[in-house]
Chain A
Amino acid sequence: MAEAPNPTRSGPGRLLIAVYAIFALAACARSASQISTHFHRAPLAYLLSAFAAVVYVVATLCLARGTRTSRRVAVISCAVELVGVLLIGTFSLVLPSAFPDATVWSVFGMGYGFVPLVLPVLGLLWIRRTAR
């Protein structure tokens, strides 16, 4: 069995992966520039940015591969994303002093049109839908 009967990359999954790839690029670029130019200003926020970037890259690649193992990894990374955006979103509102500079997940991803909040939900739904 080389390929699953319902690979995650076809149909709506193709669009989902494209949006994931854009967020992977955006998050990587953002954290790279934050960490390389002014890491000392907000180390915690910038480390979280970098972590978010890694999670987006992993989710993109795993959704695009669609093998059984990569689906499992994709579920984990989507779940981590969802928890991340909810936790960081809440913390950035309740304790803004801990986040002197924004991350992708600040205020539930408001700076990115709340897409970071919707994306992991769609990802998990899509993986479930293609599981059968």
Chain B
Amino acid sequence: MIDVLSPALTWVSVGAAVWALVLVLLNRPLPIERVDGKAYLALLALIELGLLAQAVLGFIKLAGADHDVPGLSYGGYLLGSLLILPVALYWSLAERTRWGTAVLVVGALVIPVMIVRMGQVWAHG
């Protein structure tokens, strides 16, 4: 199941990054009091839930690995990925300008990078 979840998370995160990038280009802050802003926050929450599920499934997969996987790195990526969005959102909302929104672009793009690295660690150590 993680083999479906991880690519899905990758693309939904890229989507969240593009959405934030459009706001940056339009020079608008994240409209958290409007319905589209709330939809954005819901999307981030959905990604975070997906990452949580990925972490649970990842540790189960790690426990039953049929080859030698560096558990510390793999587990580190699984858990580390959970930190990114909450911290990025906190840091972003403290300044509701285009630069605050730009933080969300970067934060959302870190997720796919971590998922790719996770795959590399799993395959090659």
Which residues of A are interface residues toward B (Cβ below 8 A)?
A: 9-15, 17-19, 21-22, 25, 29, 32-33, 36-37
Contact = CB atoms under 8 A, between A and B. Distances in A.
B106 interface: yes
Nearest to B73: A33
A17 B91 contact: yes
B80 A37 contact: no
Nearest to B76: A29
B83 A25 contact: yes
CB-based closest 8 A-B pairs: A18-B103, A15-B102, A14-B99, A33-B72, A33-B73, A11-B99, A29-B76, A15-B99
B106 A14 contact: no
8 contacts: A9-B95, A12-B99, A14-B95, A14-B102, A18-B107, A19-B106, A33-B70, A37-B70
Contacts of B23: none
A11 B106 CA distance: 15
A37 B76 CA distance: 13
B39 to A, nearest CB: 23
A123 B70 CA distance: 34
Contact of A33 (B76, B84, B92): B76
B87 A21 contact: yes
B26 to A, nearest CB: 17
Given A11-B97, A12-B99, A18 B70 contact: no
- Most A CB atoms within 10 A — which of B87, B91, B107? B91
Contacts of B99: 10-15
B110 interface: yes
